[in-house]
Homo-oligomer: A and B are copies of this chain.
Amino acid sequence: MAAPDQLDRLRVVLVATRNPLNIGAAARAMSNFGFLRLRVVQPFDLAFREARSAVGAPGLLRDAEMFSTVAEAVADCSLVVGTAAVGSRQVEQPVKRLEQGAGPIRTHLADQRVALLFGSEKRGLSNDDLSYCHWLMRIPTRTEHDSMNLGQAVAVCLYELIRTDVTPRSEPRLESPAPAHAEELDRMAQSLLVALAVSGYTKPGTEIATEEKVRRLVRRLNLNSSDAETLTGMFAKMRRAGARD
């Protein structure tokens, strides 16, 4: 996860957005992931006013800066990255997949401002908009359906920026309680075996085979101490019920 002042150096720039719901959705995703600097370039005026005044609009939407050109909106940024579905379209700039582009952006944000541009719902960024970009970033969608909803595209890009790399080996066992010790497992197995014997599950002559079967079974169960105790109690209760008659 990036440091707060690193996040604060990103400018999310929405160019010619038409739908107020999409402006609101972009702002919400920004707030979710901790990027609070929104810039809009020539939004449909009504759309922007509506999004701004929507109930529950995050503060960052009210603080959004409005520009009339892309040039002005990115003027104070030293890296400008455009997002594009690309597809069959010819582009002049280098294109990086989102997974590959996030690293360089994060590095840059360590001490420099970065602008991340998103185009209009219908046509994306124009060639003129793209000409302000150092490179383009592509979300790895299917070629059969590569056009993403604007708010979702913003969410996915920002998530990748704050994403923490995890290698499977270092995966911590989150909030999982202590595994049961062998003696707790044996106590539970014993409790289950007595309940089985009392119930008639264990056929005469199969006692040893059943005991081994149960011992292996309880070891496959991935039990923690607390669950082992719970089950031991359950079996004890069932045994007493079975023995009553």
Contact = CB atoms under 8 A, between A and B. Distances in A.
A87 interface: no
A199 B238 contact: yes
Number of copies: 2
Interface in A192-220: 192, 195-196, 198-201, 213, 217, 220
A183 interface: no
Interface of A: 1, 21, 25, 28-29, 31-34, 58, 94-97, 99-100, 103, 139-142, 145-149, 151-153, 155-156, 159-160, 162-169, 171-176, 192, 195-196, 198-201, 213, 217, 220-224, 227, 230-231, 233-234, 237-242, 244-245
Chain A contact residues: over half helix, strand or loop, or mixed? helix
A239 to B, nearest CB: 8
A145 B58 contact: yes
A193 to B, nearest CB: 10
A168 B166 contact: no
A238 B95 CA distance: 33
A100 B166 contact: yes
A139 to B, nearest CB: 7
A146 to B, nearest CB: 7
Nearest to A224: B220
Contact of A220 (B21, B28, B95, B222): B222
17 contacts: A1-B140, A31-B142, A32-B146, A97-B164, A97-B166, A100-B171, A100-B174, A103-B168, A155-B156, A156-B159, A199-B240, A200-B241, A201-B234, A213-B230, A220-B223, A241-B241, A241-B245
